[in-house]
């Protein structure tokens, strides 16, 4: 306050002086001293009101009252430590769950790229009847970049794991190639040195930009990193700058280590349509609408596609038009994959909180009755009702805040735990989940809302307290509870039961989904197999050297003690890697381009033995299937069925529709189908070619090792690693993973959902049983006399206990009935996330309802026993 | 806020006009609260009913606004009392509020006259 504050007693003195002056005056008028004093007081009116008004005018009253309410609230919470602790723990779990899931949602779905005006950024992607299918080819990008007028700039980029050598040592890092104007389009400033420029695309000299994170990790943040060199595909790149710390690339989940310029000239010398871009990002000119930009770039795209040689059906399905899509959140692969599961988890967490709120509302009601006496006295001594409601709500908010703080700590743990889930597998997804201001604001809002929701009804009830009755009946108001209030508390319990049913059914559905997926036969052995990636130096790409190096590798690995079988292959099942082509088979007429598609894996002998894939017909590869021998191939069941029907494929020939490949492979065997990209899909058609007859000398292959001993795969790792480095020091070994963990990592979403929803389900069960127990035992306590009277009139303990149990059975039954439609709706809505679980699955509902009934009756037993144990004599004496 | 029933037919003070009356009273020199109350009553020919207690929040308000200044002193009959005096900005406020008051009174008067003549 800006003016000098007047003291309270100064004002008091002024009033006293007024009264004296007025008395003097009245006595002068002829009144007696006593009469004059009386009259002066009367003329003044309400003295204490004047003083109070003065007091309030001197202060931030609301603030004073808030502090007062908080102090009062803290005192009354301290007086009920068990109640306080129970509520705080409940809230901590509820708010913690919500904050944790929100942190993930914020990181994965909501956060914008840390670039300048992200809303102006768009991706250019091809689309057709089958949805979007990535950016157009590089030459089309060049035309888009020069011929459009809608963009301030457009940049192409593609990221991959790169094998680079620094100081002669190979390492694998996450890198991207990008147009020279990439950073200009994003509007980023370097943290150190400079970022890429347009003419860096000439690769003269070749330069590179590293991320802040890689700079700190690999170079310990040394500024002398500028000028350091690294070699990639035989070319030496000089590091010229570091990107800002917040920028991790355009693909959330896989932070970049390095950016190299797209080498236009070198790339264009190759087959230009085969350059695979990951994305084209462009910045709209201010004021240009997305639709206009789309029309303009689509026209260019169509003219580019006019002379493509793609089959018409393929074009219609995938490449019929160019779309302009918002890019503010970056590449949305992660968002597409996780948005449904994350929102599902958010709903589950919200339900848990709602359950907690219902629980606490009931506890607050019960507490409100016990405090009726106290509130009655406050009312009688002149407290305003509004003030009491405010005080009760303040107390509730305080109580909730007590829980919210540890809740945030719990959320922190939860987030770390879930981040761990995402970190598994070959391609760890790194979620930049931080409990930042947004999460805090969210948690605060949720806490306040929950507190209001829980505190509103008890506060409203407090407003209707009759002070006279409340005081007369003492602290424990025995008759103050109206019928409506009793119904309300019972309805709250039924509500909790219903919510628990929804949560349990959800948990059951997700748990069964995971178990169903685990029981799917993937067609290969998912235990006792180790896989790891080996990248060879560029110089091994000649066919002879290529075959020779794998001969050496297999020879070394197979002679190691503990190794049962081993093989090399381009990729392994569920690894996320893939190759494919179009097939030409005599006697098979494809109806569409899609009909001719086949996946191709190049494998060595021993591949099928190591992975336990059964041979159905013919033979598998041997070490005799070399470059000089006859070209052979294996196909899987699905391919055999599709291309040969009932005919025997053995001995038939397989050709690929491909430029510069007129080789024909003779089919020598048929193997069992295996799952390929994930467990849910139908098995894909596969052709296997011997890696020794390689048509593509892939720099990176996967080594598959099966140990003799069960669970012995990881124990072999160190000897395999040293053995491989003895074969060649330039080998880069990465992506070491057992098949078991590989399988788990493909079930990431399912494990997350089933793990968290079960945890939440158990929590729901506990909350509901505590709720039921609390309400019943409170009611038994209140009806102590009534029970005593009934028993005095001849009711047996059994009858009394039965009536308590019957009451709880009603609450459970109503809750279950009310929750059932929501549970059915929930399973139906979650259908795409489930596997082998249907909305009509009776067992699911029965099991959940049964569990709830069981827990409900168990929690009702104790109050029922207490009711049965009421002594009529003592109960009646208390009247 | 007094619960005292206003049985006599003296006028209850209009909300907000109290400020004006206080300022006007102080125009004649400094005065303490009780004196102000008496003065208002006397000046209105005992027509206005002032709850003495309600005077003090008003004085407090005026002091906060800087229109009056206050300090302890001694009264005519040797009693200690808190005296109020008009400040320069208080004088300005008084003239502007008086003018406004007169306008309102005139306007109300006109309305009443018209109604009477139509009767």
Residue range A591-611, pLDDT digits in tens: 888 888 999 999 999 999 999
Q: In b/e form, how buried is each residue of A834-869, taking b as 16+ CB within 10 angstroms? A: bbebebebeebbeebbebbbebbbebbeebbebbbe
A478, pLDDT greater than 60: no
- Beta strands in A26-83, from DSSP E residues, in sequence order: none
Torsion of CA A246, A247, A253, A255, to 10 degrees: -110
Question: Confidence class of residue A272 from pLDDT cuts 50, 70 and 90?
Answer: very low
Whether the pLDDT of residue A516 is over 80: the answer is: yes
pLDDT band of residue A235 (cuts 50, 70, 90) is confident
Query: Percentage of chain A with pLDDT > 90?
Result: 52
Task: Tell me the C-alpha distance between A421 and A443, whole Å.
Answer: 23
Q: Using CB atoms within 10 A of its CB, is residue B81 exposed (0-12), middle (13-18) or buried (19+)? A: buried
Identify the pLDDT of residue A202: 86
Put simply, whether B3 touches A (Cβ < 8 Å) is yes
Name the closest residue on chain A to residue B61, using Cα atoms. A57
Contact between chains at B2 and A46 (C-beta distance less than 8 A): yes
Mean pLDDT of A532-551: 85
Task: Give the gap in angstroms from C-alpha B51 to the nearest C-alpha of chain A.
Answer: 6
The answer to whether the Cα torsion of A108, A114, A117, A118 is positive or negative is negative
Location of structure tokens 């302890």: B72
Residue B57 to residue A53, Cβ atoms within 8 A = yes
Residue of chain B whose alpha carbon sits nearest to that of A39: B52
Per-residue confidence at A870, pLDDT binned at 50, 70, 90?
confident
Which residue of chain B is at minimal alpha-carbon distance from A55?
Answer: B57
Q: Has residue B12 got a pLDDT over 80?
A: no
Closest residue in A to B33 (Cα) is A18
Residue A75 burial by Cβ neighbours in a 10 Å radius (0-12, 13-18, 19+): exposed
| Residue A392 to chain B, least CA–CA distance (Å) | 28
Q: Are A318 and A102 in contact (CB under 8 A)?
A: no
Residues A642-646: what's their mean pLDDT? 92
State what percent of residues in chain A have pLDDT above 70: 95
Cα A458 to Cα A108, A371, A448, A484, A493: the distances in Å are: 39, 11, 16, 13, 15
Query: For residue A3, what pLDDT is reported?
Result: 42
What number of residues does chain A have? 879
Q: Residues A73-99: pLDDT tens digits?
A: 888 888 888 889 988 999 999 999 999
Angle at A114 between CA A108 and CA A120, to 5 degrees: 100
* DSSP-H helix ranges across A691-747: 717-727, 739-746
Taking the CA of residue A575 as centre, how many other CA atoms within 13 Å lie in the half-sphere pointing to its CB?
23
Residues A815, A498 contacting (CB under 8 angstroms): yes
CB contact under 8 A, B34 and A15: no
Mind telling me how many Å the CA of B102 is from chain A's nearest CA?
29
Mean pLDDT of A539-558: 88
Assess B91–A contact: CB distance below 8 Å, yes or no. no
Q: Kindly report the nearest CA distance between residue A390 and chain B, in angstroms.
A: 23
pLDDT of the residue at A264 = 58
B62: which chain A residues are within 8 Å (Cβ-Cβ)?
Answer: none
pLDDT in the model for residue A423: 85
- Cβ atoms of residues A5 and A59 within 8 Å: no
> Hey, are the CB atoms on A57 and B2 less than 8 Å from each other?
no
Q: Would an 8 Å CB–CB cutoff place B32 in contact with chain A?
A: yes
Query: Which of B53, B58, B80 is best to mutate for the A interface (most A CBs within 10 A)?
Result: B53
Closest A-chain CA to B41: A43
Query: Under an 8 A CB cutoff, do A14 and B33 touch?
Result: yes
pLDDT, residue A274, reads 47
Higher-confidence position of B114 and B30: B30
Nearest chain B residue to A53 by CA: give it: B57
Please tell me which of the candidates B38, B51, B79 has its beta carbon nearest to residue A17: B79
In chain B, residues with a C-beta closer than 8 Å to the C-beta of A46 are: 1-3, 53
Judge contact between A646 and A558, C-beta under 8 A. no
Nearest-CA distance B119 → chain A (Å): 40
DSSP lists the bridge partners of residue A703 as A532, A568
A308: helix, strand or coil: coil
ipTM beyond cut 0.90: no
- Chain B neighbors of A45, CB-CB under 8 A: 1-2, 4, 51-54
CA distance A410 to A415: 9
Residue A2 has pLDDT above 50, yes or no: no
Report the gap between the CA of B95 and the closest CA in chain A (Å).
25
Cβ count within 10 A of residue A822: 15
Q: Chain B residue closest to A52 (CA)?
A: B57
Helix (H, G, I), strand (E, B) or coil at A794: coil
pLDDT of residue B7: 41
Kindly determine whether residue A54 and residue B56, on different chains, have CB atoms separated by under 8 Å.
Answer: yes
pLDDT band at A571 (very low <50, low <70, confident <90, very high): very high
Distance CA A7, CA A871 (A): 60
Q: How confident is the model at residue B1 (pLDDT cuts 50, 70, 90)?
A: very low
Give the Cα separation of B20 and B106 in Å (integer): 17
B90 touches chain A (CB under 8 A): no
- Give tens-digit pLDDT for A626-641: 888 999 999 999 999 9
Lowest-pLDDT range, A160-174, A389-403, A502-516, B53-67? B53-67
Shortest CA distance from B38: residue in chain A: A22
Whether residue A46 lies within 8 A of chain B, CB to CB, comes out as yes
pLDDT value at B116 more than 80: no
Taking CA atoms, what residue in A is nearest to B53? A44
- Among A7, A14, A46, A54, the strongest candidate for a mutation testing the B interface, having the largest count of B CBs within 10 A, is A14
Distance from CA of B94 to the nearest CA of A (A): 22
B34 touches chain A (CB under 8 A): yes
- Taking residues A359-366, report their average pLDDT: 88
- Biggest CA–CA distance in chain A, Å, is 139
Q: Which of A297-306, A633-642, A754-763, B100-109 has the lowest mean pLDDT?
A: B100-109
Specify the pLDDT at position B17: 75
Distance from CA of B90 to the nearest CA of A (A): 17
* Stronger pLDDT, A628 or A386, i.e. the higher one: A628
Residue A444: the pLDDT is: 94
- How much of chain B, in percent, has pLDDT values that exceed 70? 73
Residues A15, B82: C-beta atoms closer than 8 Å: no
In chain A, the N- to C-terminal Cα span, in Å, equals 56
Q: Which residues of B touch A24 (CB under 8 A)?
A: 77, 79
Chain B contact for A27 (CB, 8 A cutoff): no
Measure in Å the smallest separation between the Cα of A60 and chain B Cα atoms: 15
Q: Look at B79 and A14 and tell me if their CB atoms are within 8 Å.
A: no
Spatial contact of A558 and A724, defined as CB atoms under 8 Å apart: no
Task: Tell me if B12 sits within 8 A of B6, measured CB to CB.
Answer: yes
Q: How far is A38 from chain B (nearest CA, A)?
A: 14
Asked whether residue A51 carries a pLDDT value surpassing 80, the answer given is: no
How far apart are alpha carbons A387 and A399 in whole angstroms?
18
Residue A844: name the closest of A768, A757, A748, A745 by CA. A757
**Across A289-309, average pLDDT:** 89
The answer to whether residues A234 and A699 touch, using CB atoms and an 8 Å cutoff, is no
Q: What is the pLDDT of residue A670?
A: 97
Residue A693 near residue A631, CB atoms below 8 Å:
yes
Give the DSSP H/E element, type plus range, for residue A569: strand A563-569
CA distance B96 to chain A (A): 25
Rg (CA), chain A: 38
Indicate the helix (H) or strand (E) that contains A207: strand A207-210
Q: B36 to chain A: which residues are within 8 Å by CB?
A: none
Residue A628 in 3-state DSSP? coil
A57 in contact with B, Cβ within 8 Å: yes
Half-sphere exposure of A626 (CA within 13 A, CB side): 10
Mean pLDDT across A361-375: 81
Confidence of residue A60 (pLDDT cuts 50, 70, 90): low
The size of the A-B interface in CB pairs under 8 A is 73
Residue A193, SS3?
Answer: strand
Model confidence band, residue A833 (pLDDT cutoffs 50, 70, 90): very high
């Amino acid at each position: 306050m800006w003016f000098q504050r007047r003291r309270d007693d100064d004002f008091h003195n002024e009033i006293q002086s007024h009264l004296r002056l007025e008395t003097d005056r009245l006595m002068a008028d002829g009144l007696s001293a006593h009469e004059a004093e009386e009259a002066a007081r009367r003329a003044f009116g309400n003295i204490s009101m004047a003083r109070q008004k003065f007091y309030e005018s001197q202060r931030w009253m609301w603030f004073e009252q808030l502090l007062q309410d908080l102090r009062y609230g803290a005192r009354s919470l301290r007086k009920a430590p068990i109640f306080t602790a129970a509520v705080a723990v409940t809230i901590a779990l509820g708010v913690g769950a919500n904050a944790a899931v929100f942190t993930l949602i914020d990181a994965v779905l909501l956060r914008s790229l840390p670039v300048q005006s992200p809303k102006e950024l768009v991706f250019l992607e091809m689309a057709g009847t089958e949805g979007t299918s990535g950016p157009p080819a590089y030459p089309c990008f060049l035309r888009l970049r020069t011929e459009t007028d809608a963009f301030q700039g457009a940049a192409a980029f593609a990221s991959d794991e790169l094998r680079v050598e620094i100081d002669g040592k190979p390492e694998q890092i996450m890198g991207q190639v990008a147009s020279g104007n990439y950073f200009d389009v994003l509007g980023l400033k370097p943290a150190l040195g400079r970022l890429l420029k347009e003419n860096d695309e000439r690769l003269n000299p070749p330069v590179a930009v590293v991320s802040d994170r890689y700079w700190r990790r690999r170079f310990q943040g040394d500024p002398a990193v500028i000028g350091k060199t690294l070699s990639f595909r035989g070319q030496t790149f000089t590091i010229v700058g570091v990107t800002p710390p917040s920028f991790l690339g355009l693909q959330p989940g896989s932070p970049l280590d390095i950016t190299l310029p797209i080498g236009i000239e070198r790339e264009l010398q190759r087959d230009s349509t085969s350059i695979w871009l990951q994305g084209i990002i462009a910045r709209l000119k201010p004021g240009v609408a997305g639709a206009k930009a789309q029309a303009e770039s689509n026209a260019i795209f169509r003219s580019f596609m006019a002379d493509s040689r793609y089959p018409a059906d393929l074009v219609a399905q995938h490449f019929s038009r160019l779309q302009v899509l918002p890019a503010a959140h970056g590449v949305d692969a992660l968002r597409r994959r996780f948005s449904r599961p994350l929102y599902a988890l958010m709903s589950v967490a919200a339900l848990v909180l709602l359950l907690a709120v219902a629980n606490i509302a009931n506890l607050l009601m019960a507490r409100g009755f016990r405090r009726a006496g106290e509130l009655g006295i406050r009312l009688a001594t002149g407290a305003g009702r509004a003030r009491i409601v405010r005080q009760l709500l303040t107390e509730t908010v305080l109580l909730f805040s007590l829980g919210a703080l540890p809740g945030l700590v719990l959320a922190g743990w939860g987030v770390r735990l879930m981040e761990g889930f995402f970190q598994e597998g070959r391609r760890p997804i790194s979620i930049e989940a931080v409990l930042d201001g947004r999460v805090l604001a969210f948690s605060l809002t949720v806490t306040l809302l929950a507190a209001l929701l829980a505190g509103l009804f008890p506060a409203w009830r407090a407003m209707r307290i009759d002070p006279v009755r409340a005081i007369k009946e003492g602290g424990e108001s025995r008759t103050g509870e109206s019928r409506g209030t009793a119904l309300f508390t019972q309805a709250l319990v039924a509500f909790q039961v219903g919510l628990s049913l929804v949560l349990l059914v959800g948990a059951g559905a997700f748990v069964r989904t995971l178990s169903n997926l685990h029981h799917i036969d993937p067609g290969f052995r998912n235990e006792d197999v180790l896989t790891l990636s080996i990248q060879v130096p560029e110089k091994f790409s000649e066919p002879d050297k290529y075959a020779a190096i794998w001969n050496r590798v297999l020879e070394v690995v197979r002679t190691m003690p503990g190794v049962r079988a081993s093989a090399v292959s381009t990729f392994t099942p569920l690894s996320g890697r893939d190759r494919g082509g179009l097939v030409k088979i005599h006697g098979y007429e494809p109806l569409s381009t899609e009909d001719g598609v086949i996946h191709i894996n190049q494998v060595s002998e021993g591949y099928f033995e190591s992975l336990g894939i059964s041979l159905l017909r013919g033979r598998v590869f041997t070490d005799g299937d070399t470059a000089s021998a006859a070209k052979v191939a294996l196909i899987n069941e699905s391919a055999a069925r599709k291309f040969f029907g009932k005919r025997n494929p053995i001995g038939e020939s397989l050709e690929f529709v491909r430029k510069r490949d007129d080789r024909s492979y003779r089919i020598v065997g048929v193997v069992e189908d295996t799952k390929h990209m994930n467990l849910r899909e139908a098995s894909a058609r596969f052709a296997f070619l011997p890696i020794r007859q390689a048509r593509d000398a892939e720099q990176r292959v996967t080594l598959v090792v099966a140990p003799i001993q069960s669970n012995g795969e990881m124990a072999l790792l160190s000897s395999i690693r040293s053995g491989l480095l003895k074969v060649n020091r330039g080998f880069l070994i990465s992506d070491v993973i057992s098949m078991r963990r590989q399988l788990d990592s493909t079930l990431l979403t399912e494990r997350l959902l089933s793990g968290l929803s079960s945890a939440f389900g158990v929590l729901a069960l506990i909350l509901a049983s505590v709720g039921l127990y609390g309400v019943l035992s409170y009611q038994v306590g209140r009806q102590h006399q009534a029970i005593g009277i009934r028993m005095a009139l001849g009711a047996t303990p059994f009858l009394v206990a039965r009536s308590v149990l019957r009451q709880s059975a009603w609450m459970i039954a109503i809750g279950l009935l009310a929750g059932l439609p929501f549970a059915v709706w929930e399973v139906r809505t979650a259908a795409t996330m489930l596997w082998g679980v249907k909305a009509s699955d009776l067992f699911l509902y029965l099991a959940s309802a049964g569990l709830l009934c069981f827990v409900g009756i168990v929690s009702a037993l104790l109050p029922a026993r207490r009711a049965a144990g009421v002594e009529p004599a003592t109960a009646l004496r208390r009247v | 806020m007094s619960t005292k029933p206003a049985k006599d037919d003296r006028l209850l003070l209009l909300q907000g006009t109290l400020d004006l009356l206080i300022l006007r009273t102080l125009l004649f020199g400094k005065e303490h609260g009780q004196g102000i109350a008496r003065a208002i009553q006397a000046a209105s020919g005992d027509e206005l009913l002032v709850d003495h207690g309600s005077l003090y929040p008003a004085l407090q308000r005026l002091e906060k606004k800087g229109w009056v200044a206050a300090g302890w002193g001694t009264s005519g009959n040797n009693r200690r009392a808190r005296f109020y005096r008009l400040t320069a900005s208080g004088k300005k406020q008084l003239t502007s509020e008086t003018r406004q008051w007169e306008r309102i009174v005139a306007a109300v008067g006109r309305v009443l006259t018209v109604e009477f003549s139509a009767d």
